[in-house]
Amino acid sequence: MCRSCRFQLDHHQKRRSQVIAQLKRVTPIRDGGWNTVEQDTRRPCDWCRAHEFTTWHSDELSCTVCPACGRLFETPLGKPTAENRPEATRLPGTPTEPVEPIVFGTSLPDYDPTELVGSNRPLIKYRDKHKYAELVFELERTGHAFSAEGIAALEQSRSNYADQVADNDTHQTDVTLEIGMTSRTVTIEGIFPEDSSSVIGTCWDIVSDPTKWFPIGWPEQGWIHRRSADPSIPGNEPVVDAFPRLQTQTPANSVDLETLRQVTDPGRYDRGTRYYERGSVTDIECIDDSLQATVQGSRPYDVRVTLSQGSYVSGQCSCPDDAAPCKHIVAAVLASGDVEAVDDDQSLDTLLEAASAEELRTVLAEFANEDLRLRKHLYEVLGED
């Protein structure tokens, strides 16, 4: 096998392992009810995007894949045991009507995202990269990924824009399309900032069209329905409740900016401020003096911060930057003023002491039914020796 073929084989296999591992964690389905379809031309697989004449289609999983992916999904490897088997499939139902996206980072005529309901909508994020900008199209919160058909349609939009600027001497970079490992996210780079609204317009119908999605389940960071929301699309949660950055563009007065600026490298502070202003902090919880958030950089990063009366004390981030605070921590601290801390007037010990045994059992049982890792931990800690 030549180096090029070996690279392609490894590339597709890596995608298969990513997609199929996630699918097996969120659904007890193992027999997809596959139908073999012979294509006139090579059709890209929704999962690994290998192009094949022969494909497998599953109505139950709402996808069309290559035979290699179909066979790998049906293998007993990774079959859920009684301990880790989901009680019911967590694969979301795919909508039958278009779902209006939420747009971050730029304004559109006659569009106000704060009026939307349902935070589990597709996201369109504008990111300013100085001379050029990029648009990120994301389905993570819907529990879906872009199908091969959806990716092909976005690629056509990219190609059309590349042709549009081909004769413009001031445009001196490639217009590229980058696909995330599980195709939840597709990014178009190399766009003039002033053209972002028109490119969003050409991609709007593609991103909002559920026929160009396939269900893949929620990763841990995107599974916003874990404890409260009904996993329907678009859901009934007000968008501004889940995306407080849509309400304001300046940090709240409760955030101690001076202390944060003093302990942060100036460049990181400025970049963190830009992350905050463009809405990169999309999942944030503040309890007592502990802050937990997801900050979207080149990929989602997990941030944990300790505060004291709004002042930064310490923080950790899953990004590769060894500096603390990094730009993601800065963005999370700035966003801390956008959410109200839960019961910050009493300690956790006080709360637990006041709760009855029955109340504690009810809460633990509810969480254990929703989080298998917690259930396993309870068996390990409370089970008989």
3-state secondary structure of 6: helix
Round to whole Å and give the CA distance between 363 and 55.
46
3-state secondary structure 11-75: HHHHHHHHHHHHHHHHCCCCCCCCEEEEEEEEEECCCCCCEEEEEEEECCCCEEECHHHHHHHHC
pTM above 0.85, yes or no: no
> 3-class SS at 154?
helix
Q: How far apart, in whole angstroms, are the C-alpha atoms of residue 16 and residue 49? A: 9
Residue 90 φ then ψ, to 5°: -100, 5
At 179, give phi and psi (nearest 5°): -110, 130
**pLDDT tens by residue, 128-147:** 777 898 999 999 888 899 99
Mean pLDDT check: name the lowest of 50-54, 56-60, 173-177, 255-259. Answer: 255-259
Q: Report the residue count for the chain.
A: 385
For each of the domains in the chain, give its residue range(s) and CATH number, in order of start: 3-74 (no CATH), 102-241 (3.10.310), 248-338 (no CATH), 355-382 (no CATH)
Residue 186 CA to residue 136 CA, distance in Å, equals 6
Q: Report, as an integer, the average pLDDT of 166-180.
A: 92
Q: Where do we find the tokens 């958030």?
A: 293
**pLDDT digits 0-9 by tens, 325-368:** 899 999 999 888 777 666 556 677 787 888 888 888 888 888 87
| Rounded Cα gap, residues 336 and 324, in angstroms | 17
Q: What is the distance between the terminal CA atoms of the chain, rounded to a whole angstrom? A: 54
DSSP state of 341: P
- pLDDT greater at residue 230 or residue 236: 236
